[in-house]
Structure 1
Amino acid sequence: MDHFLQSPQWGALQRDLGRTVHEHSGPGWRFLAIEESNPAGPLLYVPYGPIATSPAAFDAALAALTDLARSSGAVFVRIEPVDAGLADADPAAFLRTRGLRPAPANQQPELTWIVDLDRDFKDVLADMKPVNRNLYRNIHKKGVTFQSSQDPAEIAVLLRFLHLTSARNGFKPQSDDYLTQVARSLMPAGAATLFIAELDGAPIAAALAYDSADTRTYAHAALDDAHRKLSAGIPLLVTLMADAADRGLKQVDLWGVAPADHPDHKWAGFTAFKKSFGGREVAYPGTWDLPVRKLRYRGYELARAGAQAARQGLRAARTLPARLRTAVHR
């Protein structure tokens, strides 16, 4: 699929945020690259891209990115191909043979959860847990209604709930300024929609979604804890899906999920929530770096390795008994 982070609308948002964006294309390929920087120096970041229809097209996109990196002074290109394994059962081998190296960490989720909409919506509902279906069908009996909006001013509803959730759970949401600019850039263009659950006319939950040509991405959501027992976030998400189906979109991307074999993962709770709506897991190759100024990039790798070794040594020292720590420092 063509991910929303590779869409012209996302490029327009990045420019509105003051960033330099490059959008290039050729036969069977295209990419959106954002100029960024890190301790290695300038870099080009290609979120969930490049998009390519064949291995040859992927190679052409890499060549264009390399040329762009050289002309813009970037030390390396950081990519996240969603289809790099087009002709190979092992995406990592496919990427390594092209000179790419795994990045120190994934910038976007490596695993996501997709709900397919290109079927009767009754079948979508049938794949959900019964409680989800029942809430969607019956919550109106409790006075809860749903609306959608593309008015940027209404982003304040979501921001208020995000603040409440942050205070309750201790997580750090994206800044108000950032999400306000997202609303200003994307909502009037029809590329983002805010869904709001209301109880007797007062908002109690909100969710923001982004749309690409065939996919709706569930991006941000929060609710008023005072009405948690209503579980309005569940029918709100089903409403978001039903609206996407009505618009002819093929799938809803519920964004990142935790690996099934990591029950203690920090995302385990909302992973279970997302999977309760039916769907399937999709794995991406992850984040990879293409060094362009190779000596500079190698220095960056060595500096990171040294810093990591120092941190590991410090952690090991902290686990020593006090008597041994004293002896070590004499």
Structure 2
Amino acid sequence: MQTSAGRRVFYVKNCLIIKHALPFGKSLLYSPRPIITDEKKLNELAHKIAAIAKQEKAIFWKIDGIPKLRITNYKLLNSSTLQYPETFILDLSKTEDELLKNMKPKTRYNIGLARKKNITIRWSQNSRDIPLFYKLLDETANRQKIAIHKMQHYKNILSIFAKKNAAALGIAYYEDKPVAANLVTFYGDAATYLHGGTEHSHRNLMAPYLLQWETIQEAKQRGLRFYDLGGVAVHGGKIKEWAGITRFKEGFGGTLTDMGETYDVVFNRAWYALYKYCIRLKRIKFMHMKQWIALINYIGQLRLYSTIDIFIIICSQYQLLLGSNIIKYGLFGRI
């Protein structure tokens, strides 16, 4: 377990668990796309994470991108995803020649062009290189108008996974200047492209193409079976906003894959009911008495507390709730 930037990060059996604070001393635990392929592993993880949840006062554990499975002892509910549900996956059992042949001609051309421009790639597991990576990521985020985490978030990922040789930064250089950088994990049987940034002024060098190709080669050398190119938008919402990144990743010839469902493993049903109800009300600036009564009745349906008990619990937090900015920005914030 590590603590930094106000968040605790746990690592249980190749599963990353991030604690997110909630009001009233509560929290939630979140795992972005862990490798869970069967019910036995899910139940083993849930048992271990339940102990963490008790210690951290976590209401539930959110899991992104797993197949539909059953769980014992806890409530498993479908939930909204925090990751995009589609990705392109490359089969690394193919030879390098086969992989190149399956790419779009423009992608192969850009890989060759980057080589001709003398782009070089360096791999690093040193968190001191995160500021370099973050500068490129931040420039890209501002250019594309997307939100990113604070720098410490990426330091956490690299430092935790690198201890097991399961993550690295790939940095592309032109004349000793970094022009592109990716954060990649290598665990289980797959490499996964998590985040990346590029310098716009050197976009004609096509460094991101060579960086992805050398990531594929690195994953093959490690004996991994798959390379996950990360989120794309082929179906559903955000197709227009994600058109550029989707087109870039599609060029490498992977198979479009649905990444599975998102679930909440509930440890405290009463608080979970309160959480879900407040999420639905998060855009209001004031909760009227009718809404408080509806909230009490909603939680009371679980029959874990009496209506009077729930009313006392809510009233004890009433002044804190109305006196904060929690309601204005969403009762339980954003992850």
Q: Structure 2 length as normaliser, TM-score?
A: 0.70
State the partner residue of 1:100.
Answer: 76
Count of residues in Structure 1 that have an aligned counterpart in Structure 2: 285
- CA displacement 1:116-172 (0-9 Å, x = unmatched): 111211111111111211222343323333333334333333223223323433333
Verify the 8 A CA contact 1:117 1:249 in the aligned structure 2: yes
State the partner residue of 1:44.
Answer: 29
Q: Distance in 2 between matches of 1:156 and 1:71?
A: 33
SS at match of 1:126: helix
Pick aligned residue for 2:209 from 213, 234, 255: 234
Give the root-mean-square deviation of aligned CA atoms.
Answer: 3.5
Pick aligned residue for 1:147 from 119, 122, 128: 122
Q: Distance in 2 between matches of 1:275 and 1:202?
A: 28
Q: Distance in 1 between matches of 2:170 and 2:210?
A: 11
Pick aligned residue for 1:244 from 219, 229, 232: 219
Pick aligned residue for 2:171 from 178, 196, 199: 196
What residue identity is the alignment partner of 1:125? L
Compute the displacement of 1:274 (Å).
0.8
Structure 1 gap ranges (5+): 1-11, 86-93, 312-330
Verify the 8 A CA contact 2:74 2:266 in the aligned structure 1: no
Residue 104 (structure 2) pairs with residue 129 (structure 1): yes
SS at match of 1:203: strand
What residue identity is the alignment partner of 1:244? A
State the partner residue of 1:168.
Answer: 143
What residue identity is the alignment partner of 2:30? Y
- CA displacement 1:11-69 (0-9 Å, x = unmatched): x5x456675556667xxxx855444333583333343347353x355445545555664
Verify the 8 A CA contact 1:23 1:33 in the aligned structure 2: yes
Structure 2 gap ranges (5+): 287-335
SS at match of 2:33: coil
Pick aligned residue for 1:84 from 65, 68, 71: 68
Matches within 5 A, 1:13-52: 14-15=2-3, 19-20=7-8, 33-39=17-23, 41-49=26-34, 51-52=36-37
- CA displacement 1:52-101 (0-9 Å, x = unmatched): 53x3554455455556645654323323352335xxxxxxxx68997422
State the partner residue of 2:249.
Answer: 274
Q: Distance in 2 between matches of 1:209 and 1:110?
A: 18
Verify the 8 A CA contact 1:50 1:61 in the aligned structure 2: no
What residue identity is the alignment partner of 2:151? D
Residue 51 (structure 2) pairs with residue 75 (structure 1): no
Q: Distance in 1 between matches of 2:16 and 2:176?
A: 41
Q: Structure 1 length as normaliser, TM-score?
A: 0.71
